[in-house]
Structures are given as structure tokens and as C-alpha cells.
Amino acid sequence: MTQLQSAVAVDREDSPRMDRLLAPRSIAVIGASSDPHKISGRPIAYLRRFGYSGRIIPVNPHNDEIQGLRAYPEIAAVDGPVDLALIMVPAERAAGAVRACGRAGVPFVIVVASGFAEVGTRGAALEADLRAAVAETGVRLLGPNCLGMISLRDGAVPTFSPVLESAADLRPGPVAFVSQSGAFGSFLFGELHDLRIGLSHYITTGNEMDVSGPDLLAGLVADGGVRVLLTYLEGVTSGTQLLQVARDAHVADKPIVMVKAGRSTTGAAAARSHTASLAGDDRVFDALMRGHGVVRVDSQEELLDAAQVFGASRRTSGRRLTILSESGGAAVMMTDTAVDVGLEVPAWEDAWQARLDEFVPAYGSTRNPVDFTAALLTDPGMLRAGLSTAIAHPGTDMIAVLVGNADHFADPLLEAIEDLYAATDLPIVVVWTGGSGRPRSRLRECGIPCFTDPVRAARALGRLADHSLRPPLPTPLRPDDVDPAAAARIVGHARAEGRTALDEQESAALVRAYRIPVTDSAVARTAAEAVTSAHRFAAPVAVKVLSSRIAHKSEIGGVRLGLATPDEVAAAAAELLDVARAHGEHDPRLLVQPMWSGPAEMILGARHDPALGPVVLAGFGGILVELLRDSCVAAAPTDHETAARMLHGLTGAPLLSGIRGGPALDVEVVVDSLVRLSWLVSDLGDEIAEIDLNPLLVDAVGAGACAVDALVLLRERR
Amino acid sequence: MTQLQSAVAVDREDSPRMDRLLAPRSIAVIGASSDPHKISGRPIAYLRRFGYSGRIIPVNPHNDEIQGLRAYPEIAAVDGPVDLALIMVPAERAAGAVRACGRAGVPFVIVVASGFAEVGTRGAALEADLRAAVAETGVRLLGPNCLGMISLRDGAVPTFSPVLESAADLRPGPVAFVSQSGAFGSFLFGELHDLRIGLSHYITTGNEMDVSGPDLLAGLVADGGVRVLLTYLEGVTSGTQLLQVARDAHVADKPIVMVKAGRSTTGAAAARSHTASLAGDDRVFDALMRGHGVVRVDSQEELLDAAQVFGASRRTSGRRLTILSESGGAAVMMTDTAVDVGLEVPAWEDAWQARLDEFVPAYGSTRNPVDFTAALLTDPGMLRAGLSTAIAHPGTDMIAVLVGNADHFADPLLEAIEDLYAATDLPIVVVWTGGSGRPRSRLRECGIPCFTDPVRAARALGRLADHSLRPPLPTPLRPDDVDPAAAARIVGHARAEGRTALDEQESAALVRAYRIPVTDSAVARTAAEAVTSAHRFAAPVAVKVLSSRIAHKSEIGGVRLGLATPDEVAAAAAELLDVARAHGEHDPRLLVQPMWSGPAEMILGARHDPALGPVVLAGFGGILVELLRDSCVAAAPTDHETAARMLHGLTGAPLLSGIRGGPALDVEVVVDSLVRLSWLVSDLGDEIAEIDLNPLLVDAVGAGACAVDALVLLRERR
């Protein structure tokens, strides 16, 4: 074993705990400058200015003292443990510095220098050396080409980022933010500050040569002081790790609010050119993330809006929104969007409206949305009374207060809001339009989410409700009647013959090993055998070409359906044997099957996604999948509840209950088949590339379903 | 004829021209107070403060002088013409004031008092009297229960709205804003001011007892100084007038940016309780407005964003967006949304990328989106060079510049943007994230659209492109081979019998009069007649119950298809005659038709929409219409281009070109049928409630299409 090989073999289980990075007790700055205005001088200046509670260790061979602190000539000379080294040297010297840190037992380093893989060939060589240094030493590395970390919790700010240059009264809090883009991160950091959202960590990940976005998110989910995770991602190499982070966050009730750029093909190409990371198939990514409770948003404003509502750390127990508004018009707009995002704005019961009637003007409305009219401004007791009533009203799960152009009347309104916010656990948001912004700032200082647009507030509340009421994670339980050994034998047989395609008979046998209903069949090599086989089944039968070399047999005329008599079977079989020979089968075989019919045609599938691992898919056949790509995806294995929720989320879901005079379908059998398929692809995960059951014919409730074709492809051996 | 009747008969053609309201040469304030701080004193104070260029006429029986101006005891005493009277008296005295204005020849009045229909029974009586005063006098009335008008162009501000109380340096310009909600209008007015959007008019319409939102929009479209119309609508009583306004605005290239609240059922109910106006069927409303070029938006921020890009008065000649960014991440997000809204972000040709290579850092990107990296901040020449190159680049139709946290480096960046904005006619928008807001304000002072979020900027540019490249209005030309007289005779026959339902034979004859392909048929009263009739057609045939009393004959088993032999026809006919008798037909009749088949099933329909007049609809049959409500709507009559665009906008449109092995369909025949149907419903508009051709079977290109069922319902006579 070479040294490199043994280094690569460093077991990641032995990786230092992420808290040494996220909450370091000591930080060394390698290449620290005495000049606090130089880039390499800023980190020491920032650490001191932000009152870092740990030990600050300048390392510089040319000075004994840096910015008033004792400096060390090299990392090896430092007495006592160093949790984190910020390496400020140029790219050419970074690998050497990492090796020195490794020898000194430093568990984490941050490399900020650019000039690595992101600049092409020359940089790629430097990055390869840096990677080797990490592999040799087991040091975990954040970067290169990153801005470092800002932890407001303890003043741990190993960074040179100019965002700290002018920052005053930054607010610590429970919200962490991990960005794969430095510039975008800086944009957001400034906005989060302006919104007075309390931050624990802000970290940019640069080239992610070693420590990745998901690594950091995993560490932050485990961090007791973090309650909300914000992240900007451009690409993810380990989707399975990200899914595990999402699971942990789901259990810990910590929302992950994610912007994932590169949704569109054009955008994904731009993201690749930007970070050289793989954007992947966004549809599968999106479905799996949402399925695990991740709050996916599309813009920085949506990220900020979600950060506000989640930063308030309240949850809702239902979807019923009460709107208290100075403007009937703004309230109607908010109602429209609230309904769009799945909230309800139900009219209040008469008795409760009567309570409002005591102080709401006759030309307003007490129905919900409650229209106080502009009388709200001159009668500040009205808002207090209205909010108290809404909090007491049992049909209210969330409250939105809408006011505008109210700066002249602000103080009593703000006092009423602040008092009643403190008196309840219900989520309350304020939409305060126009004016100086001072009232908004005051509310945000109190931790009360405050918006300028009612539509954005409605969307943010919708996300809060989706998170609060999110379905449980799947708890998959392997069915005890499946036969993994039989499945493995079938795969082994194809592998032994050097094949990656299973023929239809093998494919059917594979899924049958997991008790997924698939049509019965018999193999025939002659027309006479086909006729004999057909006698096993009730007429009519289907006859198909059987070949692992022909994936799309109907496209070559290799399928004959509805054969009612022995003569028809014999004639069709003779023709199909010719078709098979014409497509290169020297010893052609046929499959004889009974005909199965059902009122609906579905497609079940499974894949091994390169980034996200085994997944199952389902959809309706026909134009729904052709025109709408109406399909659903879940990580495998999954459970019956999740599979049922997937199916009921399809655009075509009304077909399950029966429309256009059709019967209600046997959904239970489809759900069960999907769960079994998820176990199959999961158990054989390393082997399977793709499984397609297309079509799965679904009959009425109680009458079952049956796959009448099956295709299994194995993964290519590397 | 009573006096009231003769007053009602005032011909609206003789209405005063709207410019007397929108650009009044003299304004009387009836009930003006000497105290500029009282509500009734504010209008005179405002008119003077905003330097109203016309004559200000206080009317007050108790003072000879009001706020330094000569006052008149009554409107009749005023010498010289009065274009507009602002009536500041309480609700009880408003009708009297209107009558006095009428006698004095004042063409327009504004009634601001509340206490009319919006407060219930008592107010409704007052509003009825006010309405009578208008009817008697022919005076046009804005309000009641409104804030009045603010025209910044000439300082005509007949209003008591507190939004003017603190307003400084309001900016006149080409953007007009009409709001059906006073409070929402005030919200927006403040925001428009903050964004430095130049306003011509801001008008709230109150109860719209007489002058409506569409009346004002019509006047503003005709106003040469207005280039952009913003409007907030909650309900529209005359949709046809609004469509005409949209047509005029389309021709004049004046975008109408519209928020129409009450999209959802809940929201519509809230809108009704708020203004007592009818929200109508939003799907039809939305389709017709968009079809006429109206820019519909869903939130106040979207309205403001659109106001910025349209306020800049530039148009684009294509959809190709070049993004110049400090942040690759922000650029990727903008790209995703740009693609969502139908823009393109194409990679630049190599030769043009080479020009950028001269100054863009190697770790950036020249591909488009162009990633300058944060080097943009410290090398201000880079933005100037990049913008110059993008303007020169022939594949660039629009440009977005993205910077963030750049306040310290702002001046040279702003200078570059301002210089190059002035040097081109291309639309340029800036996304300037974070910081003090000063750079954004400066850009907006220069009229350069400036955003904080790249996603919002992308959506606004999408709307600019949609407007700039909007399809022409339909130019319908009545086909010369239609027979309106025959159609009228068929309708007259049913009317003579007191029927509003036509039977299938009559319905088919009606559409056949407009040469819409509909299946041939013969009437039979006995089984023997049915057999004889069937001989006229090639087998197989269909036999149906024929009755104007049975609208849904297939639901009662009144249809038999695919009858191949005389025996089958006779048996089916006998059964169907029994079915008809069982459903109350004493003298039952049958319809015998040839069978028609086609690979696709469509539905064509026409309606007389209560608010919007005659419309045509089209969609695919089957699950597309059931699950997706996949249909399209256009105002009737329409032309072939518009009808084709409608069909190609359906979700099912790929079926037209043939998918899943199906042939390309005979779209031309469908388009032609839709146009003919639009003429039929338009020509017979007063008569028709509803026409359904369901299904229209569509065959392959060249093979035509044929309606195999037709149902016509006439409007109930009032």
C-alpha cells in the first residue's frame, strides 16, 4: 500500500466532530498581517472587534507580535490545541500550510485563496496537491476560494469578507446560512442584517474540495443553538447525504429553507460554468427534497421572507388565517394568494363577528378578512380589540395585520401589536406598507415578522403552515414475503452472461420475487409451442417477441394482442418468430400471456439516481405523462402512507376515485406495488439502473392491478 | 313622459368629454372650509400648494373669502365656466349639491362623502337620490365614498387625501393610476412616490355610482400625456367597455397593468362584501384581458415592478437577455426565472466572449450570464466596458446589471450605468441588492428601473417582452358564405314555440347555417323510418332520441352507436322510442346519423358572458378538460390568427401536431370552425345563451373535422 493509498484510507468515521469548526475554541490565522486594513490583516481585526471568546493565534514567521497579540513563527510552535486554522497564504503555498497544520494536529482549516480548480488547468494541479495534503493528513478543509465563516454567536469570524467592514450591531440568533456562492452569500448577509434576523452562522463553501454544503448543514442541524437553516446551493455531489440532513432536520423540527439555482436547463448550464458542480435532474431533486420537508424557494426575497417567519420560531396547528386590515383591497389580494398556497380564510361565525361589530365601522367588514377601514388609524383601540378577539377566536390559527401609510399613527398601533404578540403563541405577521420603514424596523427588533406586500406575507405563511403540518417521514418496513435471494439469482444469471438488460420473462420474475403483481407467461420457441402454452390461459392471449436485446418490442411490431383462437395464435407466433429473426435473434423465443384489462393504465418505475440513490416513480399512462410529465417520485425504500400521498398528489389523482363514469380504482394494490418496488430497487441498489412496469393496468377497487410488461436494466459495471 | 324618464333618456353620447375631469380648467370646492387642516379645508390648501394652474373656486354660504381666495355663496353665483366641482358636504346634502351643479352647467362632480350604498339600507336611499340627481341633470359624478383625484401634471388635486399631507417633491410623469380601493390606492401611491415613478393621475373611484374605473381608463388612454396605466380593480360591471379600453390601449401602445382582486372564490366573496361589485368568472375575465394585451399581475409589488419597467418607456425587439453580474449565483437564479417567464439567456458567440475575455477575470464567466465576480467593484472600468460590449452585441435585446453590497464602490458604477443607459434604446434594468438604498434612489431619479431581487427583475422584463412583442388584435372578417337569415329563422321558430332549448336537429341546422361541419342526420318517428333513413348513410349508423326537452340524452341511455345492420337499427330504434316515452315524450322522434370517427375529440363552445359579452371557447375532450379544465377563451368575433394562437396555447396542443403515434390533426378546420362559431354567437348575441359542439371529432390533416352533437340554448327573455 502506497502512502497515498493509506492516506486515502483515512476512515471518515474518525473525522473530527464538526463542532470544532462551527464552535472553535481557538483559531490560528496563518499568514496574518499586522495591517488590519490588508486582506490578510482583517481576520485578526475582525476576531478582536467581534469579541471572539476563544484564543486568537496569529502565525507569521516575520513578526513576534501581530495587532497586539503574540505571534508564532509556525503552527508547530503554538502551545496548546488549535481547533481551526484560517490559511491566508496564496494558492501556491496553501497545500504546504495544510500539511503543517496536519502535523500539528489541527483538525480544521479554511483556505480562502482563489486560483484553484475554478481557474482551469494550472489551478487544477494546485487543487490536486491540496487534495493530496488533505488525504495525507486527515485535516478537514473548508474552501478553497471561499470567504470563510462568520459565527455571531461567539464572535468566531475567521474571514476577510468586507461585509464585516461596515457592519454595526449584527444580531446573533438561531438562523444559520450556508452559501455555495460567495457574492450571493454577501448579498443575503446584508439583507438578513437589515431585516434584523438573528444569525448564528454565515458560511461560504467555495470550491468544496473537502467540506461540503451538506457537511456543514449536518453539523448545524446537530448544533443545539441553531433553529433554522438557510442555504443557497448550486450543485450537490452527495445528494444522499443531503437527504440524510433533511431527515435529521425534519426530526429536529428545524426548517431548511433552500434556494437551489439551476432549475432550468439554461440556468443549470450557467451554474456548471459558475461552480463546476453538477446541477442534476431538478425534478427528482425537487421532489425528494420537498418529500423530506425541505422548504424550497426560488428567489432571495422568498428566502428572506421564509427566514422571517421561521426565525420567529412559532408553528401553526392549522391553515385558517384571520386577516385584520386597514384596506379591504389589500385584504382581498392577500386572500387570493393565501388560497393559492393552500391556506383558508374562512368567514367567522356570526357570534364572533358580533364581537367585532362593537368596534368595526359599519362600512367595514367583520366577515374575515376583517376590514377595519382607515378608521383603524385614528382609533388605535380598534386594532388592540381586534387582535385580542382574533387571538381568542377558536377558528383562527394564524393572524395577519395589514396597515399602510400609517407612520403618523404608528406608536399606539405598534404597542398593540407588540403587546398582543407577546400574549399569544399564534403566528402573527404584520404587513406595513409604505412610509419611512421605522415601524417595520421596530417590529423586526421585537422579532415580529414584517412585510411590505400582503402577497409575500401570504406565501411565507403558506410555507410556515406546510412546515408545521408536514407529513411524517416514511418509516419503511420490509415486507416479510419478499425473496431477495431469488432476485439476486436472476441478476446473477444475467451478469454471468455479461448482460445488463433482462428480458421480459426475467424482468417479470424479478419483480415477482417481491410479490408485485405481473402477468403470468409461458415461453415458446415454435408456433406449436405457442398454441400449447396458450391453452394454459383463458382466451384471448397475447404473444410477444422475447429478447433481452430488443427493449422496445412494440415499436418493431413484436407484440400481438387479443388472439382468440389456436389458429390466430399459431399465425401470430409464426410471424413474430420471423420478426425476431429479422432483428438478429438466431434462436428466437416468444412469450405467451393471458390478456389483462383494467380501466386505468399506470406506470411504475424505479431508478438509481446518480446523485440521490434509489428512487421510485409513478404516474398515469397516456397523455397525462406525455403532455404534463405528470409523475411523482420518492426516495426508496418508502412506506405505504408516503406512496399513497404521492399518488394522490398527481394531477391525474381524481382518476383514482373515478371520474367520467369510471370506477374507483384499486389504489391499495398500486400503493403496495410501489412500496414493494421501492424495496426491490433499494435491496438491489448497487445492481439496478432502471425498472419499468409499463403499463400497470389497474382495475376497480378489490379487483387488483397487474403489470403487463416489465423491463429491468442493470447498472454498467465500472 | 315623466320628468324622470326624460332625464334618464339623456343620451350618453352627449356626455361631457372626460378631459374636463382629467384636465379641468377650473375647480369649485363646495363646502370649502377656511381651516386648511380640516378635511373640508384641505382641498383648497392642496390645490394652492401644488400650484394648480387653473381657477380655484371656493363655494361656502358663510364666508366671502376662504384661505385667501374669493368665495361664492352658491355654485350658481360663480362667474365663468366650472369644469369640475368637488362636493365636500355630508351625504345627506350631496344630491342637492349635484342638482345645483347641474343647474349651473358644471359637467363633472366628485362626491367624497361616505354613508351611501356601502353602509346598507339608509345609505342606499341616499344613493338612489344621488343617482336620480345625476340622471336628471346629466352631470357626471365620480364617487361617492372616494378620495378624489390627484393630477400631478397640472396640480389639479381635488382631494382631501392625507397622502398629500406629508408628500414632498412628488414627481409628475406619464404613469396614471386608477384604484377601486381607497386604502390600497393610498398604499400604492406612497410606494410609487418612493420609487420615483412619475405620475400623471391618481384617482380612486369609490362606489362608482356613475363614473367607473373603465370610464376613467378610457379617458386616460385618450390623454396624450399618459403612457402607462396602472389599475387596481375589484369588480367590473361593464366588461365590454373594459375590453374596448384594452383595445384602444393596445393600439396606442399604452400598457395597462392590472391587479384584479378576487381571483379565488374566497377572495371574490371578500371583494363582494367589500365593494358590493360582481367579481365574475375570473377565468374568462383573465383570458379576455390577456388576449387584449392587458398585463395582469397578482400583487402590489408586481404592479410596482411593472410600473418601473413600463415607466421607462422602452420596448424590446426580442426575448434575448444579457445578464452582467457581480455574483454568479444571483445570475443563475435570474436565468432560471427568465426562462420560466419566456425569456432567453443565450450563450454569447465565441467572438463576442473573446471581447469580454479582455477584462473579465479568468475565474468569472463570459458565456452569458456574464459573471464579473467581485472584481467588478474594484475595477469600475469593467462594468463600463461590459455594458458597452453588451449594447453593441447583436444578440442582446435587453440587459440586466446585477450588483450587491456595493455602496462603497457605487459612484463609478452608477456613472457607467447612467452614461450607457443614455447611449442606448435597449431596455436596461439594474438589480442593486443591499446597502443604504441611495444608489437605487439615484438610478430611479434617472428613470432607470432598479430592483433589489433578480427574480423580480426577470419577471418584470418578461412582462415588458410580452407587451413589446404582443400579438396584434384580432381583425375579424365575417365569412361571406354564412347565412344569418337562416340562423335567425331557426331561432325565431323556437321562440315562437316559447322554447329556449333547440333540439339537436335544430342546433345542427343553426351551426350549419354558418358552415360549421356538423354530422348529417335524418329524423325518424318509427323503427321502420329509422331503417329507411339509415339506408341514406354508409353503415354503421348512430340512432339518438331527438328532443328539445332532454339536454343530456346519453345519460338516460338515449344514444346507440355503431349499428351495422337494418335489424340492429330497428331494434335500437324501438328501444329508444320507449326511452323517449318514458321521459315524457308523447310523440317521440329519433335522429339517425352516420358514424364519424377521428383520432381526437375536441369541444367548441360559445357563450354570452353576462359581463364580457359573446365569447368562444375550445378545448380537448376527455381527461384534459376534466382534470385540467384545459380550455381557451376569446372574445367573439375573432379571426383565424387569434383562434390558432388560442388552440396552440392549450396544454393539449402537442396533440394537434400528433403525439403517441397519432397523426397531425386538421387544425385549419378547427380554427375555421371556431371563427365561424364566433361570428354566429356574435351575430345572434342577444339571442344565444350557450352553444356546445361536443364532441367535435378531428381527423388527420386534410381529412377535416365534424361535430357529432350540437346543443344550443337561447337566453331567457327578460
Q: What is the ipTM of this complex?
A: 0.87
Domain assignment of residue B347, yes or no: yes
CB contact under 8 A, B274 and A118: no
Q: Are A426 and A553 members of one domain? A: no
Q: Which domain holds residue A617?
A: 600-714
How, if at all, do strands B589-594 and B522-524 pair? antiparallel
Same domain? For A589 and A614 the reply is: no
- Decide which of A647 and B554 is more confident: A647
Q: Which amino acid is at B346?
A: P
Q: Which of A562, A594, A626 is the last residue of a domain?
A: A594
Specify the pLDDT at position B2.
34
Q: Count the domains in chain A.
A: 4
Q: What percent of chain A has pLDDT over 90?
A: 79
Higher pLDDT, B282 or A176: A176
CATH for A632: 3.30.470.20
If asked whether residues A625 and A645 sit together in one domain, one would say yes
pLDDT of residue B237: 74
Selected residue with higher pLDDT from B62 and B556: B62
Burial tier of B671 (Cβ tally within 10 Å: 0-12, 13-18, 19+) = buried
Residue B323 lies in a domain: yes
Q: In terms of domains, do A459 and A497 share one?
A: no
DSSP character string of B68-130 = TEE-BSSGGG--S--SEEEE-S-HHHHHHHHHHHHHTT--EEEE----SGGG-HHHHHHHHHH
Residue B12 has pLDDT above 50, yes or no: no
| Contact (CB<8Å) B298/A455 | yes
Report yes or no on B589 lying in a domain.
Answer: yes
**Across residues A121-126, what is the average pLDDT?**
88
Are B573 and B606 within one domain? no
Number of Cβ pairs < 8 A linking chain A and chain B: 284
Report the gap between the CA of A583 and the closest CA in chain B (Å): 22
Mean pLDDT of A226-247: 91
Dist CA A138 CA A6 (whole Å):
11
**Cell for B192?**
410609487
Give the pLDDT band (50/70/90) at residue A435: confident
> In this structure, is residue B155 part of a structural domain?
yes
Predicted pLDDT at A97: 98
Please give the single-letter amino acid code of residue B332: V
Q: Are the C-beta atoms of residues B520 and B537 closer than 8 Å to each other?
A: yes
- With bands split at pLDDT 50, 70 and 90, how would you rate the model's confidence at B277? very low
Residue A13 has pLDDT above 50, yes or no: no
A453 and chain B in contact, CB less than 8 A: yes
Q: How confident is the model at residue B362 (pLDDT cuts 50, 70, 90)?
A: confident
Q: Which of A215, A226, A185, A187 is nearest to A202 (CA)?
A: A185
Residues 6+ apart with CB under 8 A from B492: none
Residue B563: which CATH number? Answer: 3.30.1490.20
A624 touching chain B per CB within 8 A: yes
Span of A530-534, A575-579, B439-443, B714-718 with lowest mean pLDDT: B714-718
CA distance B717 to B246: 30
B249 shares a domain with B133? yes
Question: In which band, very low, low, confident or very high, does the pLDDT at A3 lie, cut at 50, 70 and 90?
Answer: very low
Choosing among B195, B333, B353, B601, which should be mutated to test the A contact, i.e. which has the most A CBs within 10 A? Answer: B333
- How far, in Å, CA of B6 to CA of B633, rounded? 40
Give the nearest chain B residue to A167 (CA atoms): B435
> Is the confidence at residue B17, as pLDDT, over 90?
no
* CB < 8 Å to A453, chain B: 299-301
B189-202 residue pLDDT tens: 989 998 999 999 99
Q: Please name the residues in contact with B607: beta carbons below 8 A apart, sequence gap of 6 or more.
A: B284, B614, B615, B617, B681, B689, B690, B691
Same domain, B35 and B184: yes
The amino acid at A225: G
Sign of CA pseudo-dihedral A123, A125, A131, A134: negative
Count each helix (H run) and each strand (E run) in chain B, helices first.
26, 28
B118: pLDDT strictly greater than 90 = no
B90: domain CATH number is: 3.40.50.720
pLDDT band at A272 (very low <50, low <70, confident <90, very high): low
Confidence of residue B15 (pLDDT cuts 50, 70, 90): low
- Whether B482 is covered by a domain: the verdict is no
Cell numbers for A216, please give them: 456543514
Q: Does residue B276 carry a pLDDT above 50?
A: no
- Looking at the complex, does the CB of residue A621 fall below 8 Å from at least one CB of chain B? no
- Among A677-681, B51-55, B264-268, the range scoring the smallest mean pLDDT is B264-268
By the 10 Å C-beta count (0-12 exposed, 13-18 middle, 19+ buried), A127 is classed as buried
CB A160 within 8 A of CB A146: no
Do residue B608 and residue B632 come from a single domain? yes
- DSSP class of residue B237 equals S
3-state secondary structure (DSSP) of residue A370 = strand
The residue from B594, B612, B641 where one domain ends is B594
The answer on pLDDT for A110 being more than 80 is: yes
Q: Provide the 10 A C-beta neighbour count for residue B680.
A: 27
CB contact under 8 A, B365 and A274: yes
Pair (B608, B672) in one structural domain: yes
pLDDT at A58 over 70: yes
Categorize the per-residue pLDDT at B271 as very low, low, confident or very high, splitting at 50, 70 and 90. low
Is the preceding omega at residue A107 within 30 degrees of 0, hence cis? no
User: Is B4 inside any structural domain?
Assistant: no
> Quick check: is B624 in a domain?
yes
Q: What pLDDT shows up at residue A279?
A: 39
CB contact under 8 A, A651 and B659: no
* DSSP-derived 3-state class of residue B674: helix
Euclidean distance between CA atoms B152 and B51, whole angstroms? 10
Interface contact B327, partner A, CB < 8 A: yes
Mean pLDDT (chain B) is: 91
- From chain A, the residues in CB contact with B302 under 8 A are 455
**Per-residue pLDDT averaged across A379-392, rounded?**
95
More reliable by pLDDT, A4 or A431: A431
Do B605 and B586 lie in a common domain?
no
Query: Do residues A360 and A238 both lie within one domain?
Result: no
**Closest C-alpha among B677, B685, B699 to residue B596:** B699
Is residue A4 in some structural domain? no
Residue of chain A whose alpha carbon sits nearest to that of B165: A408
CA distances for A173 relative to A154, A197, A213, A226, B131, angstroms: 11, 7, 20, 8, 60
Q: Please, what is the average pLDDT of chain A? A: 91
User: Cell triple for residue B374?
Assistant: 467581485
Domain boundary among A564, A594, A624: A594
Q: Which of B59, B206, B236 shows the shortest CA–CA distance to B612?
A: B236
Q: Which A positions 549-588 lie with beta carbon below 8 A of chain B?
A: none
CA separation (Å) from B288 to A80, A157, A215, B444, B684? 75, 57, 52, 33, 20
Tell me the CATH number at B338. Answer: 3.40.50.261
Instruction: Return the pLDDT at B270.
Output: 66
Q: What residue of A is the nearest CA neighbor of B116? A: A363
CB-CB contact of B581 with B588 (8 Å) = yes
pTM here is 0.91
Which residue in A116, A184, A232 has the most chain B C-beta atoms within 10 A of its own C-beta, making it the best mutation to test that interface? A184
Mean pLDDT, to the nearest integer, of B467-484? 96
Q: Distance from A103 to chain B by nearest Cα, in Å? A: 32
What the block records as the C-alpha cell of B151 is 393630477
Instruction: Give me the percent of chain B exceeding a pLDDT of 90.
Output: 79
Q: Is the domain of B434 the same as that of B419?
A: yes
